[in-house]
Amino acid sequence: MDKLVASAEAAADLAGAVIRPLFRSALLVEAKGDASPVTEADRGAERALREHIARHHPDHGVIGEEYGPDRADAEWVWVLDPIDGTRAFVTGRPLFGTLIALLHRGRPVLGLIDQPATGERWIGVEGRRTIFRGPFGGAIGCRPCPELSTAELASTSPDIFPPGQDAGFMALRRAVRRTSWGGDCYIYGLIALGLLDVVVDATMKPWDWAALVPVVEGAGGRVTDHAGRPLTLESEGDVLAVGDPALLPACTSLLSV
């Protein structure tokens, strides 16, 4: 596994070299089919990631946001989101990240969140303590928070919840101490640093969540769907992360409202 971790870090370095010169520069922004912005940084970074994987792991499969699946039925599959939080990227906010995950027979066993503008990086491996490196301090470890009334909740956007899920989220929001918005993958890194307690999102694709699972769980938290079930490639895209596993029953109960 150490060699795979080193390979993931090398891949993140290559993607960062593509992304950093384009951050806060004049970019041509197009519209995807789902109306989210896409830039030359997304595509160039994913090409760099795929080229690295093809060179060093030719028998592995790849699932990427920009260029789709390649041998997705392989035993080992890399799941890539070159820029998770493209809206933040194109508006100059450093609340985005490159996500690199490795699945073994469909289960996330390695996850990396890289913030190439700030130099922060989280590395999670199944069965190991998550590693964090960054210039601003911070120590890995989800904080104890057994009561929702004292919990800090975050979500990417209030608009991501489809009809039928928004009522449950609002019930959870009323139960916590405070709610903040925005951050995409970055807020999951903050859970692993003990700075947030709950993150709830919806309509997420495998490249949005696969890398987050080993990072949060390696810091002592849990990542599931809204019903508390493990995430799989067949999951519907609703994601719940808690820093203190004691919060999971209360969160899933409210999200089912």
Q: Is 84 annotated as a binding residue?
A: yes
Q: Is 75 annotated as a binding residue?
A: no
Q: Is 83 annotated as a binding residue?
A: yes
- What tokens were used for 128? 């190991």
**What is the chain's length?**
257
What sign for the dihedral angle of Cα 132, 138, 140, 142? negative
- Annotate 116-164 with DSSP letters as a single string: TTTTEEEEEETTS--EEE-TT-----PPP---GGG-EEEES-TT-PPTT
Q: How far apart are CA 77 and CA 11, in angstroms?
A: 15
Q: Is 63 helix (H, G, I), strand (E, B) or coil?
A: strand
Q: How far is CA 34 from the centre of its chain?
A: 19
Q: How far apart are CA 130 and CA 134, in angstroms?
A: 13
Q: How far apart are CA 47 and CA 18, in angstroms?
A: 10
- What tokens were used for 201? 């999102």
Q: Is 159 annotated as a binding residue?
A: no
Q: Is 224 exposed, middle or buried (0-12, 13-18, 19+ CB in 10 A)?
A: buried
Q: Is 30 annotated as a binding residue?
A: no
Cα-flanking dihedrals φ and ψ of residue 130, to 5°? -60, 145
Contact between 108 and 210 (Cβ < 8 Å): yes
Q: Is 86 helix (H, G, I), strand (E, B) or coil?
A: helix
Q: Which residues are annotated as a binding site for Mg(2+)?
A: 65, 81, 83-84, 208
**Sequence ranges of the binding site:** 65, 81, 83-84, 208
